[in-house]
Structures are given as C-alpha cells and as structure tokens.
A and B are shown apart, each in its own frame.
Chain A
Amino acid sequence: MAYPQNYKYTREHEWIEVTGNKGAIGITDYAQNSLGDIVFVDAPKVGDKVEKGAVFGSVESVKAVSDLYSPVSGTVTEVNETLKDSPEKINSDAHGTWIIKAQLSNPGELDSLLSAADYEKFIAEETGN
C-alpha cells in the first residue's frame, strides 16, 4: 500500500492533507484494515474545536471502537456527512475518504507529524516486519 507522500501521519494512524491553512483528516489504510468492516463514524460538528492529540470522535467496526485523535489544533469547517450512511467508504478508500476538515490554529504543529516514509517504518515495526 502506497501512503500518499503529500500527507502527514500520526502514530494513532490518522492522516492529514494540508491545503493552505486547512487540513482534511482521515484514518490510514493500516487502521481500516485493523478495524475491519466500519459501520459507524462519530464525528464532531462544524464549528467544534479540535486539539492536537485529543480525541475528536470515533470510528466503529462490527467488533471494535477506535478513538480518533486529532493531528492538529483548530476549528472544524466541514464534516463528511456521507459517512453517516456509507461508513464503509473508509474501508474501500481510506486515504481518499476524509472524515473532517479543519482550519488550523497552529500550523507549526505539522512539523512534529510523521512523513509517509516515517509512518510506513512505524507500522512495519508495529507488525514486527
């Protein structure tokens, strides 16, 4: 699986695609594969604040609940409403399916996130490969 080079990643398996001062946030292919069939996404509302490293929602598969940790601090500007009825989109296209978009309040936070190469190395270590 190729992890998009222009995304940044967290150790909690979220990705962020930054355009200007806005970021689109989702979960990685590794995460969707670990979770299995996703059936429920609990997302914040437009206008809610998110904080780097804090839980902003959750993704549920049939057998598990997984908290979502924000890679950045900011304000939610958009929520992917299609995930209410079709949460399985995350399984079929994790890197193309954003969950929220946020206005960044502190773009400097991006520097501490992982690059695609670092993230791939990280998950290789996790799985003992």
Chain B
Amino acid sequence: MATSTSLALRQTALNATHRRMGAKMVDFGGWDMPVEYSGLIAEHMAVRTAVGVFDVSHMGDIQLRGPESLAAVQHICMNDASKLQVCQAQYSAMLYPQGTFVDDVIVHKFSDNDYLIVINAGTREKDFQWVRQNVQQFHCHANDFSDYYTQLAIQGPKAAETLAKLTNLDLSTIKGYWFKWGTVCGLPNTLVARTGYTGEDGFEIYVPSDVATSERVWKEVLEAGKEFGILPCGLGARNTLRLESAMALYGREISEAINPFEAGLERFLKLDKGDFNGSQALRAIQAQGGPKRKLVGLEMIERGIARDGYPVLNAAGEKIGEVTSGSPSPFLKKNIALAYVPLDIAAAGGEIAVEVRGNPVKAKIVPTPFYRRPKKSA
C-alpha cells in the first residue's frame, strides 16, 4: 500500500477535509483524491438508495465565448450543439482527425455566444491545448476556468430533496441535462446542473474554489443530507456506479485508439451536422462497413471477477479482446465488465470467457446498461 505522497500530487480545495474525515487517498491522474471514506459498498449503496456527495473538483472547465463560439464547439465536438437551448447541456466528445477520442465532455450552452465544456481531470492540460489549437480559425475566446470551481456532485434519489434545502431554485424546473443559476448555500448565481456520472438523479454544483467556501458548502451539503443518510463518496464508488450504468471512462472504454462506433456512442455523434474534427474519417469507416469491434457488457457466470485489462477468450480459448473495465457490482451483486470483442461475437451474443489470472472463467454477453434507475411513478 502506498504511503502518503501528496507532495507531488495536485489537490482540490477539500483535500484537508477529506483527510480529516479519514478518507483513504489515492493518486488519480496526478490528483490526491479520496477513494473511499466509510467503505466503497456503503457509499455505492447510499447513492443508489439515498444520496451521496462527491468532490469532483479535479475535473476541468473550459469556457468558449465570442460570436463564433458555437461554430467552434461544432468543430471540435461530435454532438450537435446547435440543438441546445440556453441552459441545456449535452454529452459529447472531442475527436482527433482520425475519428478517435480526445476526451468525452459535457457541453453546456450558457448563451448563443457562451459555452462551458466540462472535461476529465486526467486530460485537463491535453484538452485545453487541443481546444486552443482547434478553435484558432473561429472568432472566439477560450478560457480555462478549472481552478475557479469546486465542483460537487450530489447524487441519488434524495439528491433533489437534499439540495432543495440549500437553494432558492425550484429544482423541479431543472430537467435532466439542463441547468440554472441560483443561490446555493448563500452564494448567488451558482451553477446548478442536473448532470452526473452515477446513473441516478442528481446535481452538480459549481462553487468558488477558495478553501473556506468549499469547506463550508461541503459541510452544509452533508448536514442537509443527514436526515436521508447522506455519505461522502470517493472515486471507488464513483467507478462502480458508472460501470453499473455502462458509462464510459476515458482511458478505458474510450481513448485515442477507439472511435464512437466501436464504443457504442453513435447516438451522440451527429455526422449530418456538417464537417467537424473526425467526421471525414468516421464517414469513411461507415462506408467501409463500420467498426470491426464493439464494446459489450459481460456478466460472469462462473466464480471469478473480470478486471481491467483481462483477456477475453473465445470458445477455443484464443484471445479475442480485452476487458476495459471490470468489477464486482455492489448493487446487482454480480461480477460485471465491459469489453471490446469482434463485431460478429458482439452481434451473436452468448457465452464467452474471461481469463482471470491464468484461468478461463465463463461469462455471458448481456445488454447494457447493467443497471437502470427505477422510473418515478407519475
């Protein structure tokens, strides 16, 4: 087990708070982050059944502003941002010219000339350089606001009731993937977005990143959620929650070697909006018959846990692919995984095997997501 090495790592404003709360810390993409507080399974279940709060301030925030900022967003991102209304957000991704992923992002339309792009922590610097290089021909300005915000994700069926105690906003007027600004914990004009990475209802709030404000807001969220059983949640639960919901993690399901067809993210790819970074290469792939491999969901049917990087085997025991992400599923109480397999195997479904430390363990291909949150009755 690694000893404390926080000197070389970046820290969010809540680093001292996490340590004070006894969180187990881990190096995530160069950030000293909490991986768990009371326990991964308890935190995971809190989000699925009540409410949990995550410090996700390590994520990045790029603002594109100016008369041609929409054109700029359209050029660098694969989804169609022209379909966004003011105060609406969409899942999207930046692509390389060969049609593979620079990063996945959430694009928020602040106004016709103002867009916020939220990016991953591990790719902050790469993404910002990429954006700057690729919007040069557009009349707009790119700002890196990542260090300005402490970003908290409040997630779970009780997230709305929790946050409602802290804001003057009527949260029922904010639909999924929409956002508003309102007073939160006494802070005016705070961004409140109904977004998240857990598969549950929830909100992400963006507050000033000074330590005093960040600590106060964190404390008030925990107080507000106390009656519902709120737990502070770390990156361990964040990973198992997003895996159950089959949400991609950059570096695993998506990367600079993977395109949106392979990753099953075609619904966020709008080739008909016109030319953009990667569109030509993707049209060519389509014309040649599409992807040769696809991301599938796996459920272990023999005893064993498939983990990141484990080989996937065909009936003859030959390696045909690899697990991108695999783990026990705390809510479903099964062992699940996502893996790339050849197109014909993905299409046929059925049984397959995962090599778990030298031994083939049977698994079956299952539809994703593994978990879907229950629909609220009318």
The residues of A with any CB-CB pair to B shorter than 8 Å are 34, 36-37, 39-40, 58, 60-63, 65, 126-128
Contacts and interface: CB of A to CB of B under 8 A. Distances in A.
Q: Report which residue of B1, B303, B328 has the largest number of chain A beta carbons within 10 angstroms of its beta carbon.
A: B1
Nearest to A61: B40
B3 A62 contact: no
Nearest to A67: B357
B284 interface: no
B6 to A, nearest CB: 12
Given A61-B40, A62-B328, A127-B3, 10 more contacts: A36-B39, A37-B41, A39-B305, A40-B303, A40-B305, A40-B328, A58-B357, A63-B40, A126-B1, A128-B4
Contacts of B41: 37, 62
B327 A63 contact: yes
A65 B308 CA distance: 12
B330 interface: yes
Interface string B293-311: 0000000000111010000
Contacts of A65: 305, 307, 357
A61 B239 CA distance: 14
Nearest to B236: A63
Contacts of A128: 3-4
A128 B328 CA distance: 31
Nearest to A35: B1
A126 B41 CA distance: 26
Interface string B216-232: 00000000000000000
Contacts of B4: 128
Contacts of B24: 36
B79 interface: no
7 contacts: A34-B1, A36-B40, A60-B305, A62-B41, A63-B35, A63-B239, A128-B3
Q: Report which residue of B24, B328, B330 has the largest number of chain A beta carbons within 10 angstroms of its beta carbon.
A: B328
A63 B28 CA distance: 14
Interface string B23-40: 010000000000110011
A56 to B, nearest CB: 14
Contacts of B39: 36-37
Contacts of A63: 35, 40, 236, 239, 327
A77 B50 CA distance: 45
A61 B236 CA distance: 11
Contacts of A37: 39-41, 330
Nearest to A31: B1
B240 interface: yes
Contacts of B305: 39-40, 60, 65
A39 B328 contact: yes
Contacts of A40: 303-305, 328
Nearest to B240: A62
A63 B40 CA distance: 9
Contacts of A127: 1, 3
Contact of B330 (A58, A60, A62, A126): A62
Contacts of A61: 40
Interface in B8-48: 24, 35-36, 39-41
Given A34-B1, A36-B36, A126-B1, A62 B236 contact: yes
Contacts of B304: 40
A60 B35 CA distance: 17
B216 to A, nearest CB: 30
Contacts of B240: 62
Contacts of A60: 305, 328
Q: Report which residue of A34, A36, A37 has the largest number of chain B beta carbons within 10 angstroms of its beta carbon.
A: A37
Nearest to A64: B307
A39 B330 CA distance: 9
A26 B4 CA distance: 27
A37 B43 CA distance: 11
A126 B35 CA distance: 19
B91 to A, nearest CB: 26
